[in-house]
């Protein structure tokens, strides 16, 4: 499933990562706090989430709750998170097990609903940039469908150079703009960490928005002030 992105730009950003567990939610929440500090209304969105527990009003996913808490605009969970599945597994498998189909049209409608509520919508993907969502869709197609500038979160660990450069190529191949990237030091003892960051600064055709040092319990609100937002025009 594919289509041409609309000509008009949209007020938001698509947050993707070099892998799962690299800090996409952390960066998305920091961006929400940063935009709010600049006087914008901002809301987070997690189109597809897996790994959730039963709650009073349905399934509860931690990433979704963190995005909602970091937003300064309230919105229904059905708009923030159109698809949520209990098993912490790949989304296309979770959807298949639930007898569901992840539809990009439904996600786009939810995005438009959020865009009507806020000036900036920060959309967090799931896993890396090319995670399958169904037999004929993946997260790369979702990003192209929404036609948003992309922020790439690079989990700084051995192998990150290859993963970051492949992700950058995949983003460009979809006709999307890489608006910036974040170096998130998820491996506290990574050898030659600074040299790896410098290599990516030389090779990624987008600005480094922040370098996040390793922390056992990082605070996205405190991190917001360190983000270089000059290139993220809204």
The 10s digit of each residue's pLDDT in 200-230 is 999 999 999 999 999 888 899 988 987 877 6
Distance CA 63, CA 80 (A): 11
Tens digit of each residue's pLDDT (9 = 90 or more) over 172-203:
999 999 999 999 999 999 999 999 999 999 99
**Is the CB of residue 154 less than 8 Å from the CB of residue 18?**
yes
35 domain residue, yes or no? yes
Q: Is 24 a catalytic residue?
A: no
54 domain residue, yes or no? yes
Distance CA 154, CA 144 (A): 20
Which CATH number characterizes residue 18's domain?
A: 3.40.50.300
Lowest-confidence segment of 99-103, 121-125, 204-208, 213-217 by average pLDDT: 213-217
119 domain residue, yes or no? yes
189 domain residue, yes or no? yes
86 domain residue, yes or no? yes
- How would you classify the pairing of strands 12-17 and 42-45? unpaired
pLDDT at 8 over 60: no
Number of domains in the chain: 1
108 domain residue, yes or no? yes
Active-site choice (10, 46, 92, 163): 46
Residue 159 lies in domain: 12-224
E strand intervals along 78-145: 83-85, 120-124
Taking alpha carbons only, the member of 174, 183, 107 closest to residue 144 is: 174
Q: In the structure encoding, which two tokens stand for residue 110, read together?
A: 């939810």
Q: Which pLDDT does position 82 carry in this prediction? A: 97
Distance CA 110, CA 141 (A): 16
């Amino acid at each position: 499933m594919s289509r041409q992105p609309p000509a008009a730009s949209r007020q938001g950003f698509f947050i993707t990562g070099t892998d799962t567990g690299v800090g996409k939610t952390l960066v998305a929440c920091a961006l929400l706090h940063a935009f709010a500090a600049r006087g914008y209304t901002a809301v987070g969105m997690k189109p597809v989430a897996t790994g959730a527990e039963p709650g009073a009003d349905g399934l509860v996913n931690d990433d979704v709750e963190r995005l909602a808490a970091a937003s300064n605009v309230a919105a229904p969970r059905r708009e923030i998170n159109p698809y949520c599945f209990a098993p912490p597994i790949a989304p296309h498998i979770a959807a298949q097990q639930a007898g569901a189909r992840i539809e990009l049209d439904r996600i786009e409608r939810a995005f438009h609903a959020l865009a009507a509520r806020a000036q900036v919508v920060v959309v967090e993907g799931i896993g890396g940039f090319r995670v399958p969502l169904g037999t004929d869709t993946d997260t790369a197609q979702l990003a192209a469908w929404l036609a948003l500038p992309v922020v790439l979160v690079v989990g700084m660990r051995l192998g990150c150079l290859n993963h970051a450069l492949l992700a950058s190529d995949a983003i460009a191949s979809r006709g999307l703009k890489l608006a910036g990237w974040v170096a998130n030091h998820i491996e506290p003892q990574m050898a030659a960490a600074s040299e790896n960051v410098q290599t990516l600064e030389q090779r990624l055709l987008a600005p480094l928005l922040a370098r996040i040092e390793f922390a056992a319990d990082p605070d996205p609100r405190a991190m917001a002030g360190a983000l270089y937002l000059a290139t993220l025009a809204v």
